[in-house]
Amino acid sequence: MSLKCGIVGLPNVGKSTLFNCLSNAKAQAANFPFCTIEPNVGMITVPDERLTALAEIDHPQRVIPATMEIVDIAGLVKGASKGEGLGNKFLANIRETDAIIHVLRCFDDDNVTHVDGSVNPVRDKEIIDTELQIKDLETVEARISKVEKQAQSGGDKTAKRLLEILNKYKTVLLQGHNAREIELDNKDDKALAKELFLLTDKPVLYVCNVDESAAVKGNIYTEAVKQAIAGEKAQYLTVAAKIESEIAEFETFEERQMFLEELGLKESGVARLIKAAYALLDLQTYFTTGADESRAWTFVKGTKAPQAAGIIHTDFEKGFIRAEVIKYDDYIKLRTEAAVKEAGKLAVEGKEYVVQDGDILHFRFNV
């Protein structure tokens, strides 16, 4: 399953520093705008203590965690929707992502230039929101002009429905709000809306980049951001990117944990961010485990067993017979598949079974 999160924000807010912490790729981080021009792409592993626990039981030859693609996109400036700065390239790159990690500068540092001269994360957020909304409004209005005639002719019910959806989006965007504020309950409506690829309809995680003193409790800037996004369908996280880059330099897990404890943190900001991005996309994990391999598989919440099997191989879905399901807690407690069976804890499920987060699965199929 190929899923992509885009890191966005104004220039010099810490996007590339954060990206370097998230992936093994080393994006150039410099104190001037547009340091990142082509988007840097990295594959990141999703931290999951459950996979580690399974590997400790089965001692497999390979341990394969779930992964996600992360993209560091060039900094956007006011006027990007009109082509200012690297606007058009920025907007094209963000359109290709599944979710947005919006980094906001929430620290003071005279040595790091702010593109607008002062630190104000709420203003910065509004600049990017406005540019994306303007671009979405252009998309919506262009589509309305194409669909309107089809809808008015009376015969095309899909065009009529699409026109209603487009007009809803237009109203919201004209009010200076994001497209994601529109609630679409109907499955067909959601499918029509998805085809519009609206920038402000993507799920968003706001990441407040703070200094060391605010890593645990935040500061006045993070409080302002919290208030500003209170009415949005969005998630929020505080991360000290500079500290995270220092943590990444430690070679052992023990050294990293000691450093975190000294700062009063239980878990690194990077780990929290990856998990939050995973949840942002409504993703969950099932496992396969044994002597050869312990592996985490990513699926969208609500996926049924045959489609979950298809993530491993299309033949598994085509020839699906059944899924043998062990709950994670049962496996951890009983330690072997044989003991799980003996305890009557192995369930046999059919095509309508909705896979649950943490399930350990074995698929039976015949092609």
pLDDT tens-digit readout, 334-348: 999 999 999 999 999
Q: How confident is the model at residue 37 (pLDDT cuts 50, 70, 90)?
A: very low
Cα(104)–Cα(346) distance, integer angstroms: 47
Give the pLDDT confidence of 158-206 residue by residue, as tens digits: 999 999 999 999 999 999 999 999 999 888 999 999 999 999 999 999 9
Asked if pLDDT for residue 221 goes beyond 90, the answer is yes
Rounded to two decimals, the pTM is: 0.86
Q: Is 186 exposed, middle or buried (0-12, 13-18, 19+ CB in 10 A)?
A: exposed
- Tokens standing for 238? 């505080």
Q: Phi and psi dihedrals of 265, rounded to 5?
A: -110, 140
| pLDDT, mean of residues 74-93 | 58
CA distance 184 to 193: 9
- Determine what percent of the chain is predicted with pLDDT higher than 90: 60
More reliable by pLDDT, 266 or 173: 173
Which one has a higher pLDDT value, 80 or 299? 299
Q: What is the mean pLDDT of residues 224-241?
A: 93
**pLDDT confidence tier of residue 32, bands split at 50, 70 and 90:** very low
Rounded to an integer, the average pLDDT of 50-77 is: 87
Confidence band (pLDDT; 50, 70, 90) for 12? confident
| DSSP string for residues in 159-195 | HHHHHHHHHHHHHHHHTT--GGGS---SHHHHHHHHT
pLDDT on residue 19? 86
Compute how many other C-beta atoms are within 10 angstroms of the C-beta atom of residue 206. Answer: 23
CA–CA separation, 163 and 266 (whole Å): 49
pLDDT of residue 25: 39
For 282-308, what is each residue's pLDDT tens digit? 999 999 999 999 999 999 999 999 999
Q: How confident is the model at residue 243 (pLDDT cuts 50, 70, 90)?
A: very high
- Nearest in space to 205 (alpha carbons), one of 256, 106, 275, 259: 275
